[in-house]
A and B are shown apart, each in its own frame.
Chain A
């Protein structure tokens, strides 16, 4: 199209990007797959010239390891619980926001705030809100302050709950994480869904008004179908993000990935947490195997989602 004698220039402009991508993106894809099949691969030993055998041992070790199964369970639970909750909430908020005029801009800005935060920093704020100062696990519990959430629940006569302190239960921890993750996930979903709503043709709603259709029916029969591409998008990205959940848990629980005082790996650890533990612990073979499993799961969930949305999404 444009003077062909300068073709080499295109490659010159591309050179920095291509070199960096080759080293830090393309090579890692090939190499990580290779490492996953080198039994007990350890890069420190590899640097000293040790040769590793080819085989499936890494995968066997990963799936037979109790810790990994806990991580898998936590990750799946967090996904399955937070994605529907945050999607439905975001949809309701977006619909309500779209139906008002005054204060819309202000509220929209407020709802976006959690997005521009540092997930570790705000995780620490959530930890402070749920934290009990004192020793709630002792008998009788010694409580200096029960934390603002327990104070609030106390208004309704609820006894202080051990949310995140030593000896706290799995589901108490889970509840805190669900609340935090949903709080964190809302801004993006509201932004996308509201954007979708604003591009919906107003005539559908006028027609429904003429027919006297009830509001719930309008939501189910008009809004949701018309928004279905955006809903599918936030659900898919929600699942992908959910399977990579990690730093929000570090924010609330610290690198222990669980309440203090527990032995071994924290009870809230996730797949990505497991990968990083293996990586830092010089079990690169195992980390690679776990990363491939994670990739396979994300791919499968995305394909299932796409398949479902093919049937349900109306373009």
Chain B
């Protein structure tokens, strides 16, 4: 009886040894394949960027070689200068910066004030009003665009900076995001400030904005990126030379050319538009990823 039990234990131990060996082999293989898979994905993700940079530095004849080169034989920095003039990038950059900076600043002021009211002040109908605002988020933007197109036309705003800035100053989503952040700040602080006779605006400026700074930075970056990437609305309402934004100018500068396209120059222009975005991403990675994971919207 005792012997049998002993054998069982030994068998059991052997089993464990066997499975653990199997597990080690499994894990080594598993880890290998996991890394292989992840590296392949990383390659696929990065390749278009590599190809953009490499193509932008080639000469046109080299670009058109039937066997592609993976490093330019002669590095053609002049493509960038040519792209800058061909696509008129200088004025496009300037317009985009004006629209981006002005709309971001105004939008922040409005968003902060609105979020503050919904988070801290009390008045009749506040909750109904806020729910109503949230409900508008479900509606696709195209529905607004149609009427807004007519509105700005009737206002005589076509081809102005105002038309690119004003209609999108209030984002219900950013108000919601910031309100949630403001709500986390203990109300006691506000009441204490009230007792001390601090005004609402001073309290907002001295306490709430510093405490909610990460969210405010996220909103700033996403809003700037939105201006940088906006395409449809600017194309509709301000597609003249003086007010055209970067994305529009980029696509149209090379499509009108009949006959041969100079691909390396085109890629240089594309790189010039993409690089600022990468720089922003490198410096503000944390804020961007945090903002995006909570919003789920692009630009």
In angstroms, Cα B143 to Cα A299, docked, is: 13
When distances are taken between beta carbons in the complex, the residues of chain B under 8 Å from A16 are 109-110, 113, 169-170
Complex alpha-carbon distance, A294 and B263, angstroms? 36
B window 154-168: CB within 8 A of A: 154, 166-168
Most central of B44, B149, B228 by chain A CB within 10 Å? B149
Q: Are A20 and B236 in contact (CB-based, < 8 A)?
A: no
Chain A interface main SS type: helix
- A21–B137 CA distance with the chains assembled, in angstroms: 12
Chain B residues positioned under 8 Å from A298 (CB to CB): 140
How far does the Cβ of A181 sit from chain B's closest Cβ, in whole Å?
12
Q: Which of A100, A110, A146 has the most CB of B within 10 A?
A: A110
The smallest beta-carbon distance between A212 and chain B, in angstroms, is 7
Within A1-25, the residues touching B (CB, 8 Å) are 1-3, 6-7, 9-11, 13-14, 16-17, 20-21, 23-25
A 110-127 contacts with B by CB, 8 A: 110-122, 124-126
B51, B68, B145, B255: the one within 8 Å of A254 (CB): B255
Question: By the criterion CB–CB under 8 Å, are B34 and A100 in contact?
Answer: yes
**How distant is A283 from chain B, measured CB to nearest CB, in Å?**
10
- Residues of chain B contacted by A131 (CB below 8 angstroms): 263
Q: How large is the interface on B (under 10, 10 to 19, 20 to 34, 35 or more residues)?
A: 35 or more
Chain B residue, CB-CB nearest to A276:
B232
Chain B residue numbers with a CB within 8 Å of A37 are none
CA distance A24 to B113 in the complex (A): 19
Residue B77 lies at the interface, judged by CB distance under 8 Å to chain A: no
Report chain B residues within 8 Å CB of A89.
41
Chain A residue with Cβ nearest B260: A133
For A228, what are the chain B residues with a Cβ–Cβ distance below 8 Å? Answer: none
Contact indicator A118/B229 (Cβ below 8 Å): yes
What residues of chain A lie closer than 8 Å to B110, measured between beta carbons? 16-17, 20
One of B1-9, B212-220, B291-299 contacting the partner: B291-299
Q: How far is the CB of B14 from chain A (nearest CB, A)?
A: 15
Q: A28 CA to B172 CA in the complex, in Å?
A: 15
Instruction: Please tell me if the beta carbons of A125 and B267 are within 8 angstroms of each other in the complex.
Output: yes
A56 interfacial contact with B, CB 8 Å: no
Which of A90-98, A169-177, A219-227 lies on the face that meets chain B? A90-98
A145 touches B146 (CB 8 A): no
Nearest opposing residue in chain A for B113, CB measure: A13
CB of B139 within 8 Å of the partner chain: yes
The listed residue with most B CB atoms (<10 A of its CB), out of A27, A28, A129, A188, is: A28
Docked-complex contact B231 and A120, CB < 8 angstroms: yes
What are the residues of chain A within 8 A of B65 when measuring CB–CB?
145
Complex-state Cα separation, A111 to B151, whole angstroms: 41
The reply on B88 being an interface residue by CB < 8 A is no
* B247-A24 in contact (CB<8A): no
- Flag whether B207 is at the interface (Cβ < 8 A): no
Q: How far is the CA of A111 from the CA of B289 in the complex (A)?
A: 12
* Binary contact track B88-110/A, C-beta < 8 Å → 1, others 0: 00000000000000000000011
B147 contact set on A, CB distance < 8 A: 27-28, 31-32, 35
Smallest beta-carbon distance A275→chain B, Å: 5
Q: A54 at interface (Cβ–Cβ under 8 A)?
A: no
Distance in angstroms from B17 CB to nearest chain A CB is 14
Given contacts A13-B113, A111-B45, A118-B228, contact A93 B38 (CB under 8 A): yes
Complex CA–CA separation, A218 to B236 (angstroms): 51
How many angstroms from the CA of A212 to the CA of B86 in the assembled complex? 64
Q: Is A244 an interface residue (CB 8 A)?
A: yes
Within 8 A of B (CB), among A242-295: 243-244, 246-247, 250-251, 254-256, 272, 275-276, 279-280, 284, 287-288, 291-292, 294-295
Q: State how many angstroms separate the Cβ of A102 from the closest Cβ of chain B.
A: 9
Chain B window 237-280, contacts with chain A (Cβ cutoff 8 Å), 1 for yes, 0 for no: 00000000001001110110000000100110010011001101
In contact, A100 and B144 (Cβ under 8 angstroms): no
**Nearest-CB residue, chain B, relative to A25:** B136
B71 sits at the interface (CB 8 A): no
Min distance, Cβ A62 to any Cβ of chain B, angstroms = 13
B52 touches A125 (CB 8 A): yes
Sample of 19 A–B contacts (CB below 8 Å)? A2-B122, A11-B123, A16-B170, A21-B136, A21-B170, A28-B145, A28-B151, A35-B146, A43-B149, A116-B277, A121-B250, A121-B270, A122-B48, A126-B48, A188-B298, A192-B293, A243-B140, A279-B146, A298-B140
- Contacts from B to A (Cβ < 8 Å): 19, 30-31, 34-35, 37-38, 41-42, 44-46, 48-49, 51-52, 55, 63-68, 109-111, 113-114, 116-117, 120-123, 133, 136, 138-151, 153-154, 166-170, 172, 175, 190-191, 194, 200, 225, 228-229, 231-232, 236, 247, 250-252, 254-255, 263, 266-267, 270, 273-274, 277-278, 280-281, 285, 288-289, 292-293, 296, 298
Given contacts A121-B270, A251-B251, 13 further A-B contacts (CB under 8 A): A24-B168, A28-B147, A29-B144, A96-B34, A100-B38, A107-B42, A111-B42, A122-B270, A125-B267, A125-B270, A191-B292, A279-B236, A298-B140
Q: 6 smallest A-B Cβ distances: which pairs?
A: A28-B147, A10-B121, A17-B114, A116-B281, A28-B144, A31-B147
